[in-house]
Structure 1
Amino acid sequence: MYLDEVIIFNYRSCKTVSLKLSEGNPNIYIGLNDSGKSTILQALDLLLNSKSKYNSLGEGSYKNDLSNTPDETDKLNHLLVEKDLPEFPDDATSTFIVGKFKYQEEEEGSEYVDMNLSTPLKWSLDSNEEGIFWLVRKLNGSLDKTYVLMNESNDSLELWNLAVRSIDKKIKELKITADDIENENGKGRFSNFEKIRAIYSKIDSGPRWAEYKFAKNDKDIFPDYSLFDWNTSLDEIIATAEAIMKDEIDDHLKPIKILAEDKAKLAEKAINRKFGELSETIREVAKDVEGINSKVYFNVKEKISDVMLTKTNSDGPIHLENQGEGLKRQIWFSLIKAKANTGEDSINKFIWAFDEPETHLYPRAQREFFDILNKVSTGNVQTLISTHSTIFIDKSNLDKINSVIQEEDGYSVLNGCSDVEAIYSSLNVKNSDFLFHDKFLIVEGDTEQYLIPKLYELYTGRTIIKDNIQLINVQGKDKWLINKTLLDKVMAGFKKTEEQLVYLFDNDMKFEIGAEAIKDNMFFVGIQDIEDSIENEVWSNILNDFYHGDFEFSYKEVEEWKTEIPNVKCNNNQKFYSILKRKIREKCQNLGLEYDTLVRLPSKGIDSSELLLNHINHVDKIPSKIKEAFDKLKV
């Protein structure tokens, strides 16, 4: 189960904030100081951790987490209605955190059935849309309530809270027979849950918010939320280590506890024997006391007393307490990561929220740290990061970055970042503050601008955005010199420019550039252009599919047409696509068909790219020079 959506209502600066979360990528929140980033992370802590602190005005307390000028509840209800959810009664003095969770119905859902979950939780899971679960926490002063979405009657029967006798009474009242009740196991007595399901199927009911209290085993299905703000103490590191090592400690602690219990019993006997010897003396003072005895318990408690490090350049073990803040945080994170790894097979998912994790980490460590977060996000960990780090942003998918802005009224607004300009604006950075992409792929025109990213994804299994590659279209051969000069000026000052830039052009660009200007980072496709580099069989399949029912083409015909293409500078009518269109016209004339009645091949650009992509469906069909350019980008 993972967190898919959250609505934060009347909590500090987040008066009405709605956010969508990614499961498999880090969720990045950027913005200036005091914009509300930390408040978002703390709101999620409120939703998932019942022990998280909520401040309210009261005697001797002047801190209040309710928004200063809270929104009316109809604003929250408007968002709920949009999601086909029931409304809450008017209440402008409460904080609401609404969470939508998703889980895999076949895998996780089947495991929930076998778990010892409370009836209210089981009924909520059964009531909701498949694979969806809604949870709400409402806080108002000392009032703290949790709600889940249930299928409930208009008169609020709350059958899940009733005893067996009351449920059976309702069964009789509604004249429900054994045939009306589904026995999930196909044998044995009907469970309360099976009876409840049958009752609700016979009465008018619908989705309602029902108050809910976590039972002992219920929390096993919810994500384990941890908020790391990097105010790390040595005690927290040790506590994390103890949590990870609990099984190993228990193996050695259990025999000691058994011994302690045995010794406690012996000590108890000895003490009580001594009390017996003192009974006469005690009665002389306390005449009504006939005897006195005691119970003895030896408390054996595990504790990792210290953490020691051995470093490559150290002379023996060193206390972690004496190390720098950066190393402490690295050790803490490695322990947290290990804790998550121990639960990889569990249905429970971890949610890690990091508030400015770049603190105390130098640039390389930031990059490595983000790579680890990216990796664990594809497993059983969902990550959220509040950051000012341009390195974290640089390595993130643009569509996973959210800008948190505090408006003039002091309340936070969440916006997606549709382009780099939005990032610059959110962080108030200048162009010189960071280079947003690792590599740049320069292509010649509109066909390549659409086609090449799709081929890259087919070849690598990843998008150019995910691999931090910026695609640049130089808009034709005639603009090459101007755009090359501009690129050189933009990249001036960045190291190893030739490794960052990869040029992928039609082969006829060679004649514009000149042999002396060609470098190892330039790749040229085809005899003249990308179209003639496509395999003959692929072209024959494209044409046969496009002109299905009119006439057929063989790959040998395509092969013959390509022999007409010169390997020197030539006019457009001597290139493959022009030759192809002429040959189709000739074929029509030879077969006595009216050419003007045929659907024409699209002009070069997006439409012709789509035509190619419909048939280039395997990496083997991608021209070799294009694959070489992609390999260069991955170096």
Structure 2
Amino acid sequence: MNNMKINRLKIVNYKLFQNVTIEMNENINIFVGENDSGKSTILEALSMVLTGKINGSSVANRLNLDWFNAQVRQKFKESIEAGNTPDLPTIEIEVYFASPDEDEIAIKKYRGTNNSLHEDAEGVKLEIIFDTQYAPAYKQLLVEGKVRDIPVEYYRVNFRSFANPEYYVQTTARKVACIDTTKKDYGPVLSRFVSTSINEYLSEEDMTELRHAYRANRHEFTENQAVIRLNQKLQEGHSFDGKTIGLNLRESGIDEWKGDMSISLDGIPLENSGFGTQNMFKSEIFLLQNTDVDILIIEEPENNLSYSNMSILISKLSESNGKQLFISTHSSFVANKLGLQCLHLVANARTTPFKSLSSDTYNYFLKLPGYNTLRILLANKAILVEGPADELILQRAYIDNYGKQPIEDGIDVVAVDSLAFQRYCELASLISKPLTVVTDNDGNAEAVRKRYEKYTGLVTLCVESDNTLNTLEPSVLAANLDTFESFKSIIYLGKDIESRDPDSIKSFMIGNKTEWSMRVFTSEKKINYPSYILKAIGIDSENVGDRDE
């Protein structure tokens, strides 16, 4: 039997998204993006429309103004201030299901054209709309000039299928499970684990015995001499309307003991374990408890997990056969392990599927070892360099000029095979991610510039303009000829240092790329940098020379 599967999500006017339609993958959907890019909002919207809840509470009970898209809300307010009567904004979230088989009778009943695309399809929608019964009150507020913002107190929440009957959530919610490892809320997951364990492993006679033992312990507590003395003191010093005052335990239901049960690992209460261990256990129990659901929604599964535990969790997620996964992540490891072909890149209030890359570039990244792919996409700013030596020199140039490492300003310096630079440029262009490329001129700076012309406006190209300085080593040496003796003392430690001239030092640098660049990086002395390196870190080349483009 086919499970309930989602092939499209449409969000209108909810938070960052004014109007976005996301085509879903059949099995795994991974949403990646910078902080506040909207990836969590997508999972939130998906959970709201399918379960009727947000963060464990009813959508209707949590409705607030901040849900409305900021631009839409601002436009409404400006129109009101101008004395107009604008249309009242609505929020719509729609889920389109993949065509179910004959066994999915409930889902097939949701087929209709009651959707924004007017398609004849199975689906459900959540609407947050103005409740017309409050129209007279709203009109009176308009007349009195008391409307300043969207009157959310006059709004209602509708759940409708595409066939138009209301409230489908009883069916869809049973097929969905959500977990957010970013929040320390273990109550529902762990309470269910405790309850299930008790019911599975204890007989009715066992539970009757425990109920009796629990009440006996409560009775023993109330008969303790300290409690008796406490009540005697109270009665001596206080009374109310001629009645004595006493303190005692509340009366409890016969199964109150279940609520006092706690989980421990190797004798250590779970709440006293590390956050990573708690998350791993929570996730493990979550997967065990939800073997019968069709859809898993998981917020940042990597949160607080070690590399090994993250590997274990990702393996378990990969084994969730038949389930459709919706995951948000910041982790290149998670994305690579579950499959880059499953990625949705979230930026600029829109989403772009990773597989929309050209086939050559798409296949290149699928085969690429390591996890640089998301580093490029998730950094506030990314600088691509050709190798470890370029990376070390650029990092040290940044430290010398700004007193801190680039990463402290959200700048990720990534060493990439120069032949792949244009692959990364195409990747960055999917989400309009600005990129800086630092590359050798290989004896023809103009030819290098021409290769990147199609990325003008997106890619900042930093290349040595002097064609005689074809790689990093001669460029750095040329920048330090005026202080050659000092520069030589930093990068060369041989006993024959006095006899070494610029040409021999250049030969040493070319033959020992990592060694000389590491010595510069760790030196207490500073060197001079080529203008194209300085341009890459935001230093105006006109102030430091004119070898740059």
The TM-score, its normalising length taken from structure 2, stands at 0.46
Choose 1 or 2 for highest CA Rg.
1
